[in-house]
Chains A and B, each alone.
Chain A
């Protein structure tokens, strides 16, 4: 056990020392470096940096755990968070790069020739990014609580401090090179345990193939068939067909995540840093390669973790694990409060079933009784971190996963904090309130903004509105309903006018926030659902996490109606849009 602790400390401190060293070496000296890293980054480097930005606590720590328990329903995350890159590459990135500005609100300001539009864009961006960071904070809290063996709340406080030191120290330039290092650490930390576990279970070292292979236990049974059998025996839904509410809900959920991806400022910002329009298209491709490495492994991690968990608790059908003989990882996670057992029937054994009532239920199909569930809390967000220990992998692998999980949460939190701070200090203060602010003061104010954002999101992270991936999905819905439609119409509808876009953004994010906050509380503070007892998911069974696409449809519709009433954008704006559509003559990103 001591060996594991030692390895974990070495992995975590070693990798962190590396990130800090790189951030220090490449520290930002000027405002333009602070935001976009001087424009001199190759598509592959940029792809890796986007990958690190992207693979947050939601993807790394949370997603496979969600898939583990949602089965087929978890596909919404897999398709949603990769399919958005197609939209980015085809619909936004090349044109926004051609236009060449530092931030998303700046682009909106130019395109919609309106300070109001810029302020609205800043507001939308802050709401979406803050929600996103709450999800990261949940991940940071889980990782630190496990790593330091303390409870979740204290883990979160320590995480807030580390994020603060990290994000405030360097700007984007530091972050770009640091994130390349982080990407490498993360992808190894994610795939190595997956390779080991795939080998153990199926004899195939490639997890993507292992998931579709037969088990190595000599039974000749396919892994997924076995998993379906094990979970349905205990009353859970069949793994490979378990739906997420309804097909309508899954459809809306996936589409929300896709268009949210293409509307998130910290990802779009990355495309301002490449040298040309062609490079912007290529960057989106390389980014997806880097991301797909993790996203195609995740379903294997999820399914195999579930199977291992089930096998640990009930190694042979009917012979459940005795609580006093539980493995070390079980004890470790109990300390964090994220895993809880309650011996309901007093037999000292652990039963894990879908029956959360206190009644014994008889399964109609098999005639066997489904015992009462005694695993009263299994936080989905612990699965990836616990996975290598559940599979009895060597200690250095467990240590590596801890380091990767922390890197994931930290890198994304830093990227988002940068997006928030740049939109406030660059767009709001320098752009509108105090145009004569010096560069030095701009840097200072962006650091103050980051500090405030960390405190607010940390506070809200104490009671997150869901598991990390679910919380992040809400952020995508907010971005989907506001930023994406405005950008897309800005490029593909040259007549689209400022007032119409503003009306669209306000109504899109407005209706999404109403729906989300009604379900989850205002800014996710528990007990503040304002309309009281409405049915959950009352709108066609669509869950709040999936509502972003409805907001986007409202956004588009309102914008087009207002456009008809108020008339098209002026001639010079339409010419600017035409120019945006032609790649030639794209200079470096420039300020006003």
Chain B
């Protein structure tokens, strides 16, 4: 059981790391640091960098939270850790 606890936690940390990397890339990366080169491209009337800053990042955040939730529910079942 002790070992289970630790692998459960390290798998969780791995998931969190993946999610936060994506979180950083879509907002700070594409919406902010890379906004100028991305603005050379277009999504309809949107400049692409502008779109990530004002629309795209929010959709990505939504996807991330639900994906993490689903993954964690599976993990909870695997380790019989749900309520």
Contact = CB atoms under 8 A, between A and B. Distances in A.
Given A79-B31, A83-B57, A278-B83, A581 B65 contact: no
Contact of B19 (A78, A90, A208, A255): A90
A89 B69 contact: yes
A299 B8 CA distance: 41
A296 interface: yes
* Main DSSP-derived SS at the B contact region: helix
Interface residues of B, number: 43
Interface of A: 67, 72, 74-75, 78-79, 82-83, 85-86, 89-91, 94, 208-209, 211-214, 222-225, 240-241, 247, 250-251, 254-255, 275-278, 281-282, 284-285, 288-289, 292, 295-296, 299, 578, 581-586
B40 to A, nearest CB: 12
Interface string B64-83: 11101100110010001111
B47 to A, nearest CB: 5
Contacts of A212: 43-46, 51
Contact of A78 (B58, B66, B69): B58
B51 A79 contact: no
Contacts of B68: 89-90, 281
A224 B54 contact: no
A281 B72 contact: yes
A583 B82 contact: yes
B37 to A, nearest CB: 12
B65 A299 contact: no
Query: Shortest 6 CB-CB distances between A and B: which pairs?
Result: A222-B45, A75-B53, A212-B44, A299-B54, A285-B65, A281-B69
Contacts of A225: 45
Contacts of B55: 208, 296, 299
B32 to A, nearest CB: 6
Task: Name the residue in B23, B50, B82 with the highest tally of chain A Cβ atoms < 10 Å from its Cβ.
Answer: B50
Contacts of A282: 69
A223 B46 CA distance: 9
B44 A222 contact: yes
A241 B19 contact: no
A89 B47 CA distance: 30
B27 A254 contact: yes
B45 A83 contact: no
B80 A584 contact: yes
Contacts of B44: 209, 212-213, 222
A549 B68 CA distance: 25
Nearest to A299: B54
A82 B58 contact: yes
A288 B62 contact: yes
Given A78-B58, A83-B57, A578-B5, A277 B83 contact: yes
Given A79-B31, A213-B45, A85 B16 contact: no
Interface centre among B12, B44, B54, B65 (most CB of A within 10 A): B54
A254 B81 CA distance: 35
Interface string B20-55: 100100011001110110010001111100110111
A241 B53 contact: no
Contacts of B28: 251, 254-255
A211 B53 CA distance: 14
Given A79-B27, A212-B51, A90 B16 contact: yes
A78 B19 CA distance: 19
Nearest to B57: A79
Contacts of A208: 55
Given A72-B53, A78-B53, 15 more contacts: A78-B57, A79-B32, A83-B57, A83-B61, A85-B65, A86-B23, A89-B68, A224-B45, A240-B47, A241-B47, A278-B73, A288-B65, A292-B62, A583-B76, A583-B81
B32 A586 contact: no
A96 B11 CA distance: 19
Contact of A582 (B23, B43, B81): B81
B5 to A, nearest CB: 6
Contacts of B45: 211-214, 222-225
